[in-house]
C-alpha cells in the first residue's frame, strides 16, 4: 500500500507537470482539491482520470466515484486496490 | 501625483524588493529558483506548484510587492487595482513544452495547455487576491515605459486607483522580471519614463 502511495505521488507529479513538487511535499492525507492541500482543479481531475487508466488500467466513468477517490493519496490508493480486487 | 510606491526585480540569481536583496539563488539547491523564493518567503499557496514559470514569476513578484505595501488590499476595492503586464516572448516556453507533450507520442497535457497564453498570469494574480479590476497583457519587442504610462493613464482616468504593472520575460535562458506598483501620493518616485528605466535595471551592488 505504501509503495502504491509513493508511486501515485510520482505519477501525479509527472502527469500534472508539478516539477517543483517532490514526493515528500505531498502528504498521504492532503486534500488534493483544496487550496490548503494541492490546490488542484477540474482540469487536473481530467489528468487524474487519464493517470488511473494509463498507470493502473482503471477506467473511471462514474463522476461520484471520482469525487470520493480523488480526495487524497490515501483514498486514491484505496480506490485502486478496491477496483483491482473486484 | 502618480508615484511608484513599490517595485520588485527578479533575475536569474537574485530577487530585489525596493532595491534590497530579499533572496539569492542557491546554486547547490535541488529546488528551482522560483521554488527557493517561494519557500524563503514563507508563502503558502499550493497552486504555485501548478503554475508555469511565467505565472510563478508574476505570482512571486506580486506577493513581494504586497509585502512592501501591505495596505493595498485594504486601501482599494477589489476592482480598483488594474494589472498591466507585458513581455517579449509571450508564453513561448510553455507553448514549446505543451507541443512536446503530444509530439513525443503522448497525449496533449491539459495542465500545460491552460498556461499557453501569457495573460494567464494575470488571472492567477487576480484569483489569488480576488482582484476583479482591469487587466491587460501586451507582447512588445522590449520593455517600453511609454506603454505603461499611456495605458496606465487611461486606466487611472476610468475608475482604477492603483496599477500593478510588470515586465515579465521568463524563458529557459532568461529571467527578467520587473513589477511595480503605481499609486496616488503627494510625493515619491514619480511614475515617469526615466524612473521606470532606472528602476527596471536595479541589481544589487554585490553583483558588480
The answer to whether residue A31 neighbours chain B at the CB level (below 8 Å) is: no
The answer to whether residue A40 neighbours chain B at the CB level (below 8 Å) is: yes
> Which chain A positions have a beta carbon within 8 Å of B50's beta carbon?
16-18, 39-40, 44
DSSP B200: H
**A43 closest CB neighbour out of B56, B107, B111:** B111
Interface pTM, i.e. ipTM: 0.79
More confident residue, B81 or B207: B81
The rounded mean pLDDT for chain B is 94
Q: What is the pLDDT of residues B54-76, one digit of tens each?
A: 999 999 999 999 999 999 989 99
- pLDDT value, residue B160: 97
pLDDT band with cut points at 50, 70 and 90 for residue B33: very high
pLDDT band with cut points at 50, 70 and 90 for residue A61: confident
Residue B107 has pLDDT above 60, yes or no: yes
Annotate B170-181 with DSSP letters as a single string.
E-SS-EEEEEEE
Q: What is the pLDDT of residues B129-175, one digit of tens each?
A: 999 999 999 999 999 999 999 999 999 999 999 999 999 999 999 99
Rounded to two decimals, the pTM is 0.90
CA distances from B77 to B67, B73, B98 (A): 18, 7, 37
Contacts of B148 by beta carbon, 8 Å cutoff, 6+ apart: B84, B86, B163, B165, B196
Amino acid at each position: 500500500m505504501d509503495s502504491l502511495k509513493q508511486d501515485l505521488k510520482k505519477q501525479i507529479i509527472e502527469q500534472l507537470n508539478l516539477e517543483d513538487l517532490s514526493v515528500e511535499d505531498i502528504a498521504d492525507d492532503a486534500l488534493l482539491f483544496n487550496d490548503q492541500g494541492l490546490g488542484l482543479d477540474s482540469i487536473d481531475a481530467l489528468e487524474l482520470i487519464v493517470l488511473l487508466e494509463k498507470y493502473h488500467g482503471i477506467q473511471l466513468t462514474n463522476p461520484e466515484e471520482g469525487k470520493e477517490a480523488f480526495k487524497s493519496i490515501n483514498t486514491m490508493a484505496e480506490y485502486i486496490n478496491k477496483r483491482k480486487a473486484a | 501625483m502618480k508615484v511608484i510606491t513599490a517595485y520588485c526585480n527578479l533575475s536569474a540569481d537574485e530577487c530585489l524588493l525596493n532595491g534590497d536583496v530579499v533572496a539569492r539563488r542557491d546554486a547547490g539547491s535541488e529546488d528551482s529558483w522560483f521554488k527557493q523564493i517561494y519557500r524563503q518567503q514563507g508563502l503558502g499557496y499550493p497552486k504555485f506548484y501548478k503554475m508555469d514559470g511565467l505565472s510563478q514569476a508574476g505570482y512571486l513578484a506580486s506577493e513581494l510587492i504586497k509585502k512592501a505595501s501591505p495596505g493595498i488590499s485594504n486601501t482599494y476595492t477589489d476592482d480598483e487595482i488594474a494589472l498591466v503586464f507585458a513581455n517579449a516572448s509571450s508564453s513561448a516556453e510553455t507553448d514549446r513544452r505543451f507541443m512536446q507533450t503530444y509530439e513525443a507520442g503522448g497525449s496533449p497535457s491539459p495542465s500545460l495547455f491552460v498556461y499557453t497564453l501569457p495573460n494567464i498570469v494575470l488571472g492567477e494574480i487576480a484569483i489569488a487576491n480576488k482582484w476583479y479590476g482591469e487587466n491587460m497583457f501586451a507582447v512588445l519587442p522590449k520593455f517600453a515605459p511609454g506603454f505603461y504610462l499611456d495605458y496606465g493613464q487611461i486606466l487611472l482616468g476610468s475608475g482604477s486607483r492603483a496599477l500593478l504593472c510588470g515586465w515579465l520575460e521568463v524563458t529557459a535562458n532568461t529571467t527578467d522580471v520587473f513589477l511595480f506598483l503605481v499609486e496616488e501620493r503627494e510625493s515619491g518616485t514619480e511614475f515617469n519614463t526615466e524612473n521606470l528605466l532606472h528602476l527596471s535595471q536595479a541589481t544589487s551592488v554585490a553583483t558588480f
